[in-house]
Amino acid sequence: MQQKWTDRPPSGDGIEVVLEAWPAFLRAHGSLLAKALPPLVGFGIFVMYFYRNHFYPSFDLFQFSSLLLAAACIGFAIVGAVIVMTVLPGAALYHWFLNTKKIKDELVYAMPYSENALSKAVWQLVLLVYFAPFTLVGLGLVTSLVLAPGLYVHTGLLWPGLIGLAFGIALQIRFDLPRWSFLSYIWTAYIPFLILFVLLSTVLQSSLPIIEKLDDVWHYPILWAIPLVIAAMVTVCAMGHFAGWNAALLFGLFFGLVVAGYSGVLTTVPERAIKGLGLGAYEAEMIVLDPDFCNRELSELGIAEDCTLRNVHVVWSFGDAIVLRPALDQPLQVQIPAMFIRSLARKAEGDR
């Protein structure tokens, strides 16, 4: 006889199930993931880049495993930096402030016994320690970016200190913390706020080109929404520390990927990886071609009479052919056999 739904034991909370299964999964499959994931990620980065630029090289990528691993390392570094910046602010505030003996003892003493009052006090603590200061730091930075872009860096260095002072005093008053506890909060919170400043700057830098393509009516609402969303995600990751590092890292991985994906950081990984390896996705000042290649009229391809190409976007420069986009009125992608390339000049990265 089939068991009734009312007689079945209740299912566990989804988040708790994942948190319990996550360490066991890593222990069982961590070695395999460490071996298989980097080359697969590297291959995926290259394939995505080839797909976006509508070409494929004439060689087998798996012959160059070092390229796959290098691309994967760059991709992991870019996305990993976003994930780390999502986790670190909450980790610092929790371990350097909330979980210190003096503050923790006072907070435990200040908490009410009533369940409803306790829940309210905990949410007030989360609001004052994490979400509200994170939000105001972000909104202040966006305000500076909109009204006074030249003062953006100065705002990023000074504004977090003022926010830390305000909320340090608010915490000390609300939870009756020891005298001068607000100074401890300022000192502790300043570094997490700077990390948030870097995270927000990274997201804005990657997302602004996407925002500019939208209708003007959406520009400011999206700009103001970005710090709110980031503050909420960083706060959730911070709350994960109450359950331990496993929960915090799991939330950080999830929300870090969300931030990287929706901000455009994740989607630009292929271009950044290829450019970082020097294989393409860069601008060349001049490309000198072999005269044998220029024995016919090639002005339609942007090739000058002296058999040179100037101010060219190099899509790909490794293998049997080089893929270019000359500076023409009509967008055109040109593939030239590498044997006809005499020299290629590009600006050093520091000169740009």
Please check whether residues 338 and 230 belong to one and the same domain: no
Q: Mean pLDDT, to the nearest integer, of 13-39?
A: 74
Q: Could you tell me which residues come within 8 angstroms of residue 86 by beta carbon, excluding any fewer than 6 positions away?
A: 199, 233, 234, 237, 252, 255, 256, 259
Please check whether residues 296 and 200 belong to one and the same domain: no
Out of 8-22, 27-41, 167-181, 226-240, pick the least confident.
8-22
- Across the chain, which distance is largest between two alpha carbons, in Å? 89
In a domain, 59, yes or no: no
Q: pLDDT tens, 132-164?
A: 999 999 999 999 998 999 999 999 999 999 999
Q: Could you tell me which residues come within 8 angstroms of residue 53 by beta carbon, excluding any fewer than 6 positions away?
A: 315, 316, 323, 333
Count of structural domains, the chain: 2
Rounded to the nearest 10 degrees, what angle do helices 219-239 and 181-212 cross at?
A: 140
- Specify the amino acid at residue 350: G
- Specify the amino acid at residue 107: L
Count the residues in the chain.
352
Q: Is the pLDDT of residue 352 over 50?
A: no
Q: pLDDT tens, 256-287?
A: 888 888 888 888 899 999 999 888 899 999 89
**Domain boundary residue, one of 271, 303, 325:** 271
Residue 92 pLDDT class (50, 70, 90 cuts): very high
Please check whether residues 252 and 345 belong to one and the same domain: no
Cα separation of 2 and 9, whole Å?
14
Q: What is the pTM for the complete model shown?
A: 0.81
In a domain, 68, yes or no: no
Please check whether residues 96 and 203 belong to one and the same domain: yes
Please check whether residues 102 and 232 belong to one and the same domain: yes
Q: pLDDT tens, 292-345?
A: 888 777 777 888 888 888 888 999 988 888 898 887 777 888 888 888 888 888
> Which domain, by its residues, includes 284?
280-351
